[in-house]
Amino acid sequence: MGITGIGLKARHTAELLARRPSLRFLEVHAENYMGAGGPAHRWLAALRETYPVSIHGVGLSLGGAEPLDTDHLADLAALVDRYQPELVSEHLAWCRIDSTYLNDLLPIPYTDASLSLVADHIDQTQTALRRRILVENPSSYMAFPESDWDEAAFLAELARRTGCGILLDVNNIHVSAHNVGLDAGAYLAALPTGAVGEIHVAGHEPVEHEGRAVLLDTHGAPVAAAVWDLYRQALNRFGPVPTLVERDANIPPLAELLAEAAIADGIAAGLSDAVLDKEAAHAHAA
């Protein structure tokens, strides 16, 4: 058993059910399972018998300036009760204001006021779900002049205040480093080692926007070599944590996705003994 999982996609369901390939977990977007019934629930219930599940929310708006949508939070809690996932995660982002939902993960400025607000929203979520959640670092295209925290320190402080874990998306770090000038190595170093509970790797695509080259976090391409390098650095620092090969567009045949998952497992298998000893020490301490 490796450490890598994939996202559950409708087009792969029949093959997954028939072959049941070795995977650490399957990840689903919470909002896609907020219907009362239907084939998606039938498939997930069947696959849940073989695979641990990770529920990844995209719509809670932890960074929203308005109160959390308590109906949405109750739906998320019901989903967590129903599938008993191993991992539950959300985003450091906002997507909802004045009861309008924007289908995107929008960035927030990193200020003391934002920190208090997001920490309150994480507390509220962890209380409603009766469990720890992981919070994912965003892919950034815009920088706010009022930000006075750097992103990694902001995430580390959220983890310290709320006890939440971090879902570290190394592709997002790579994309943000290019787009808004983060230092990827310093980013990893600023995060506490025990807080990272999951890693995402994904593909991105270069585009031209307003005359500038931008890296777009599309989840629509294979993982880039530079992102695999950053992944290796992350595993060296944080140990072999569950990893998702994330693909949401241009979805390839299952075999191709499994081959990418095997790359991540291969990197994890090549970790030095010192890293694995550290992981064993964590596990022992826990």
Partner 1 sequence: MPTLLERQRDMRDWVLAAAGTPPLPNAGLHRDNTLGGLAAVLAAGFPVSHRLVGEACFIGLAQAYIRHEPPYEAPLLRYGTGFPAWLTGQEVARQLPYLADVARLEAAWTHAYHAAEAAPLDASTLATLATLGDAVEDAVWRLHPSHRFVTSPWPVDRIWRANQPDAADAAVDLDTDGDTHLLVVRPAAEVLLIRLGPGAFALLMALGAGLPLGSAWDNALALDAGFNLEHELTGLLAAQVFTGVELP
Give the shortest CB-120-to-partner 1 separation in angstroms: 13
d(CA 251, CA 151): 30
Q: Answer yes or no whether residue 141 interacts with partner 1 by CB under 8 A.
A: yes
Q: Answer yes or no whether residue 74 interacts with partner 1 by CB under 8 A.
A: no
Q: Answer yes or no whether residue 69 interacts with partner 1 by CB under 8 A.
A: yes
Show the 3-state SS of 128-192: HHCCCCEEECCCCCCCCCCCCCCHHHHHHHHHHHHCCEEEEEHHHHHHHHHHHCCCHHHHHHHCC
Stretch that binds partner 1, among 14-22, 101-109, 154-162, 187-195 (CB under 8 A): 101-109
d(CA 244, CA 253): 17
Residue 70: its H or E element: helix 70-83
4 or 140, CB closer to partner 1?
A: 140
- DSSP classification of residue 104: E
Give the shortest CB-139-to-partner 1 separation in angstroms: 10
Terminal-residue alpha carbon distance, the chain: 21
Q: Answer yes or no whether residue 101 interacts with partner 1 by CB under 8 A.
A: yes
d(CA 74, CA 16): 30
Kindly state the tokens that stand for 80: 């967590």
Site string for partner 1, 181-220 (x = CB under 8 A): ----------------------------xx---x-x----
Which of 12, 56, 72, 121 lies at the binding interface for partner 1 (CB under 8 A)? 72
Contacts to partner 1 from residues 76-95, by CB under 8 A: 94-95
Which of 8, 23, 88, 108 lies at the binding interface for partner 1 (CB under 8 A)? 108
Q: Name, in order, each residue with C-beta under 8 angstroms of 177's C-beta and a sequence gap of 6 or more.
A: 183, 184, 187
# binding residues, partner 1 (CB under 8 A): 51
111 or 233, CB closer to partner 1?
A: 111
101 or 186, CB closer to partner 1?
A: 101
Pairing, β 205-209 against β 212-216: antiparallel
d(CA 136, CA 165): 9
Q: Answer yes or no whether residue 106 interacts with partner 1 by CB under 8 A.
A: yes
Q: Answer yes or no whether residue 171 interacts with partner 1 by CB under 8 A.
A: no
Q: Answer yes or no whether residue 158 interacts with partner 1 by CB under 8 A.
A: no
Which residues would be at the binding site for partner 1 (CB under 8 A)? Answer: 31-32, 34-42, 58-61, 64-66, 69, 71-72, 75, 94-104, 106, 108-109, 111, 113-114, 117, 141-146, 179, 209-210, 214, 216
